[in-house]
Structures are given as C-alpha cells and as structure tokens.
Amino acid sequence: MRPVYPEADARNSIMEAAIAVLAERGFHGTTMRDIAQRAGVSQGLLHHHFGTKEKLWRTAGEHLSNDFMAYVAEVLKPDAPPSEAIPRAMRTYLRYWREHPEAFRFNLWRLVDGPADERAQRSQVLNARSVPLMQRGQEEGFIRSDIPAGLTLIIAGALIQFWLHSQVEIRDALAVTGDEVPADDMFLKLVLDLVRARPETKARPKNPRRKRHER
C-alpha cells in the first residue's frame, strides 16, 4: 500500500524526490518511475500533478531558481555601495552552493542535459538581476571597465563554480609547485582581485552606447 498524501503534501513530496533523482542522474538518466519510487507514490499520481518528465524538470528548475534568487536577493539590492555589495555577493553565491549540493548538481546537469530553453530562461532572469551590480561597480571605479560588465560577472561566477566542482584538479595543479589549497575566503579574494579596477583605469560611464565606426 502506498501512502495517501494531501494534495499539497503530495506535490511537495514529489518535488523533493524529483530534485534528488534528477540531481543524481540528469534528465535523460531519470525515469518517471524512478521519481515515483523515490517519492513513495504511484506513477499515476506523478503524472496527475506534473504531466510529463519535461514539465517536471522545468518545475524543479523553476523551484530551484526561485530559491536561489530569494537567497541572493538581499545582496543584489541597488542601495549598497558596490565595494561592499560585490564581495558580499560573491561570498553569498559560493555559500549557497555549499549549502545546497543537490541544487548545485542539478545546475551542472542543466549545462549538458534537459530542455535548452529552460536553461536560457533561468540565465536571462539571473543575469538581468546580477549584471547591473557589476555595472554599478564599473561606474564607481571599483570593477575594471576594460571588460563588459556581463563578461566580468561570468568570469567571476565561472571561477567560483570551478572551485566548487573541480577540487581534484585544483589540488593536483597546486601540488606541482608544492602549494596548498587555500580556504574559500582566500580564493574569493583572488577572484575579486582579478576583476577589480586597476589604479590607472577610469570609471565606466553610465549606460554606455557604442557607436559604429563609419567606414
């Protein structure tokens, strides 16, 4: 006999199971039966609440994206000085993934698996909220202005992501020269130093518009 859940509890149970299984196996490696078994419900109930596996993947992705945006919302507010907000945003970004390993694995699967447009939608929402912080950092001379704000954000985020999922490679690379793996705080300082403005660089003007050169 399978347990009988109230409507909301059933959806929550299925969603928790779906995130766990999809994070382990990805979109193509997971079946609806796998998720139903993990949730302790029938496949019929699974289809009743979510329809297809693709819809379930999208719902799980939306759930995780909303959770992430709620977690980082405070550090993305436009009222804090970039010199404070950007380092805090980087620490918050790394801490979120440390605290949510299933979300981290699900996000890695997004890069190689599942509907591409779901990934694109998440990317657009995240960048619309995050890139303006780097723009403010450039305008106030805290972040280097010789790189587009969006690319600066991507570079910092990619380094943090690599730090989290490639500790084996990092450890072995450092071992060649006898160096130790630094703590998270030291690594974040190194990343920040890469994207910070140099003394000789000027602040980036607000809302820059590049003109096409006439031939």
Q: Concatenate the DSSP letters of all residues of 33-49 into one string.
A: HHHHHHHTS-HHHHHHH
Domains and CATH numbers, the chain: 1-51 (1.10.10.60), 73-195 (1.10.357)
User: Is the separation of the CB atoms in 27 and 57 below 8 Å?
Assistant: yes
Q: Which helix (H) or strand (E) holds 55?
A: helix 53-72
pLDDT tens, residue by residue, 20-79: 999 999 999 999 999 999 999 989 988 888 999 999 999 999 999 999 999 999 998 888
Q: How confident is the model at residue 205 (pLDDT cuts 50, 70, 90)?
A: low
Query: Is the predicted pLDDT of residue 209 greater than 60, yes or no?
Result: no
Q: How far apart are CA 63 and CA 19, in angstroms?
A: 9
- Please report, for residues 36, 44, 54, 70, 101, the alpha-carbon distance to residue 40 in angstroms, rounded to integers and kept in the order given: 6, 12, 20, 29, 23
**Residue 203 reports pLDDT greater than 90:** no
* Residue 142: predicted pLDDT: 96
Q: What is the pTM of this model?
A: 0.84
